[in-house]
Amino acid sequence: MSTQKVIKAGVIGAGRIGKIHAENLATRIPGVMVTAIADLNLKAAQELAEKLHVEYTYSDYRKIIEDKTIDAVAICSSTDTHADLIIAAANAGKHVFCEKPVDHSLERIDKAIDAVSKAGVQCQIGFNRRFDPNFKKLRELVQTGKIGNLHILRITSRDPAPPPAEYVKLSGGMFLDMTIHDFDMARYLSGSEVEEVYAAGGVMVDPAIGAAGDIDTAVITLKFANGAIGTIDNSRKAVYGYDQRAEVFGSNGMAATANNTPNSSVYSNADGVVSEKPLYFFLERYMESFVAEMRDFINAVREGTPTPVNVLDGRKPVVIAMAAKKSMIENRPVKLTEIE
């Protein structure tokens, strides 16, 4: 019979991503018990709790922070609350999983980093794409030298449909909301830090996004410390589905990932060759990566080992995003040292 300690978890935020993490913690991660869910919309918390057989629900997140029986919290609330919640949880001695981005302010992120360090708790940031088997394989090929010296990294990330303009106004902009995943992936796949960014962007999908002060289409060039060059292309609307691809090219070869599809069948006839479109959105494409990242977080809590994506890893893509925005506005390359 196992004597493994049960990790008691609380979830703050019962929206779309909160539902994913709460369900994974409650049903797919062994040795975890979700004991409380908090959301400003108490009804949303109650409905999720009822589905997952969670005992306590609150409209005030502080009830979870103050509960001494809770070992870890998953922060799935709006971005503007993340840093404060990390600090509150760390000060209460709780381990923290927090969705990206940590914050839109480097000063607030640094306060969260300081709180986590002083408390000695584990903190993981939700860059789930690192846990996708396709991208993990590309990183492995780079890290083991199979690609040789990395010359070019290419990332394509395109959504199937744009978000509402109301969301855009509060998101921090495309670079901090959407591209931030790709900035993290660029660091992850290359194994190197970004030193310089040159970004171009425009409004080609939805004029309402432009009216809200943002862009919906972008191409970003990155220069890495190891000498490699990277490109990221983004669009808020790919009519054929969720387009998620990457390529690493180096002195010894190239490796690339294709889109995941519902099945791998290909139908050929006299009129042409037809295959399935990509999976429609991130819920389908990355569902298993959400499970994997949470499993690794719980293992780090249980074993006292570092989390695979720490809060400093959460800071660096924000710096890149800020540099990208400055580059686009000023129409010039921007070194990250200008932001720091």
The most distant pair of C-alpha atoms in the chain lies apart, rounded to whole Å, by 68
Q: Name the token pair of 56.
A: 């306590």
Contacts for 53 with CB less than 8 Å, ≥ 6 apart = 26
DSSP of 58-127, one letter per residue? ESSTHHHHH-TT--EEEE-S-HHHHHHHHHHHHHTT-EEEEESPS-S-HHHHHHHHHHHHHHT--EEEE-
Helix (H, G, I), strand (E, B), or coil: what is residue 290? Answer: helix
Per residue in 300-313, pLDDT (tens digit) is 999 999 999 999 99
Q: What span, in angstroms and rounded, lies between the C-alpha atoms of 337 and 200?
A: 20
CB 209 within 8 A of CB 165: yes
Mean pLDDT of the 47-57 span: 97
Residue 298 has pLDDT above 50, yes or no: yes
Domain boundaries, given as residue ranges, for the chain: 7-121, 130-286+317-339
Of 316, 101, 328, 334, whose CA–CA distance to 219 is shortest? 328
CATH architecture of the region 7-121: 3-Layer(aba) Sandwich (3.40)
Of 56, 26, 22, 57, whose CA–CA distance to 40 is shortest? 57
CB 126 within 8 A of CB 293: yes
Contacts for 177 with CB less than 8 Å, ≥ 6 apart = 101, 171
Mean pLDDT of the 234-245 span: 96
5, burial (CB in 10 Å: exposed 0-12, middle 13-18, buried 19+): exposed
CB 93 within 8 A of CB 71: no
Per residue in 138-187, pLDDT (tens digit) is 999 999 999 999 999 999 999 999 999 888 888 899 999 999 999 999 99
Mean pLDDT of the 105-127 span: 97
Residue 1 has pLDDT above 60, yes or no: no
C-beta neighbour count of 226 within 10 angstroms: 12
Question: Which of the residue ranges 9-18, 145-154, 163-172, 256-265 would you say has the lowest mean pLDDT?
Answer: 163-172
Q: 130-286+317-339 — its CATH code?
A: 3.30.360.10
Residue 2 has pLDDT above 80, yes or no: no
Mean pLDDT of the 184-191 span: 98
Mean pLDDT across the chain, nearest whole number? 96
pTM, 2 dp? 0.95
What's the count of helices (H) and strands (E) in the chain, helices before strands? 14, 15
Q: What span, in angstroms and rounded, lies between the C-alpha atoms of 85 and 88?
A: 5
Mean pLDDT of the 270-299 span: 93
- Residue 293, by phi and psi: left (phi above 0), alpha (psi -120 to 50) or beta? alpha
Mean pLDDT of the 220-230 span: 98
Mean pLDDT of the 224-237 span: 98
Of 256, 245, 242, 257, whose CA–CA distance to 287 is shortest? 242
pLDDT at 3: 61
Residue 131 has pLDDT above 60, yes or no: yes
